[in-house]
Amino acid sequence: MSESDVTSHFWVANPPFFSSTLLVASTPDASQGEKVETHLEIFDVDGTKVNDVRVEFPAGEVGVIDLEPFAQGLKAQGGVAHGHLSVSSPFGTRHVCRQAIGSSVSLVQDPVVTRGRESSFTPLIIGARREHQIVLVNASGDVAQVAIRLFYGNRAPEWSVEVAGNASRLISLEAELLNTSEDGSWEKGAIQAYLRIAPRLQAAVTCHLIERVPGETPEQDSFRCLATW
């Protein structure tokens, strides 16, 4: 791949509750019969590369890649087998990832990489039987230090987390972060909150925020992706 290629960094996860499909749309003005090559690298939760694949599609068409066969080696974290997909294609190509989470389906366009001295900000509701998973994907080969801060009421707790190079990390907001705080007011009902993700130093990350509302059985759990950035 050349320096002019476009590279995207997605989070991917495996069944039974998650599945991921990559859509690759090449520029329509390519020569007839020309092939467009896309390079996929899939990394485990610890940053270990588990697959390296090159696929070709006719220029001007949309390629569809089911990622599950290439992601079989991903280890589970928090009960979810997941990892980091780095995908590179010639300049002008668009990447979209179709994420199926339970019965919910989202089309995730190329996530914006948030770098050191930048931050990303999104609203959410905490409490009221909702649970949230924060997924951080390290878009670089260096260890990333990331500050996670939650604003609600007159409180603004902050946590620092580390993500290995090229790795992904799934963090339960309620079980791993809020439960470490002495304040339990968020458990009493639905509270408007705001989440800020801020990489430190030269770190570069993308992030997903997934909401889960538990059902009577795990099969009846409701999932949705609240934000991707």
CATH number of the CATH domain containing 174: 2.60.290
Within 8 A by CB and 6+ apart from 156, the residues are 149, 150
Q: 133: domain range?
A: 114-228
**Chain segment 2-32, per-residue pLDDT in tens:** 556 899 999 998 887 788 999 998 876 655 5
pTM of the model: 0.88
Statement: residue 131 has pLDDT above 50: yes
Percent with pLDDT over 70 in the chain: 94
- Whether 1 maps to a domain, the answer reads no
Contact 221, 207 (CB under 8 A): no
pLDDT, residue 1, reads 45
Asked if residue 222 and residue 125 are part of one domain, the reply reads yes
**Chain segment 71-130, per-residue pLDDT in tens:** 988 998 878 899 999 999 988 889 999 988 877 788 888 888 999 888 988 999 988 788
Contact 112, 204 (CB under 8 A): no
Asked if residue 164 and residue 82 are part of one domain, the reply reads no
Domain boundary among 76, 109, 142: 109
Percent with pLDDT over 90 in the chain: 46
CA angle, residues 229, 180, 173, in degrees to nearest 5: 25
Q: Provide the mean pLDDT of the chain.
A: 87
Summarize the confidence of residues 134-152 as an average pLDDT.
94
Q: Which residue has the higher pLDDT, 54 or 190?
A: 54
Asked if residue 224 and residue 119 are part of one domain, the reply reads yes
How many angstroms from the chain centroid is the CA of residue 48?
A: 17
Statement: residue 189 has pLDDT above 80: no
Q: Which residue has the higher pLDDT, 142 or 18?
A: 142
Asked if residue 125 and residue 223 are part of one domain, the reply reads yes
Contact 16, 102 (CB under 8 A): no
Number of domains the chain is built from: 2
Asked if residue 141 and residue 70 are part of one domain, the reply reads no
Contact 147, 198 (CB under 8 A): yes
pLDDT, residue 82, reads 93
Asked if residue 216 and residue 131 are part of one domain, the reply reads yes
Flag the least confident range among 15-19, 196-200, 221-225. 221-225
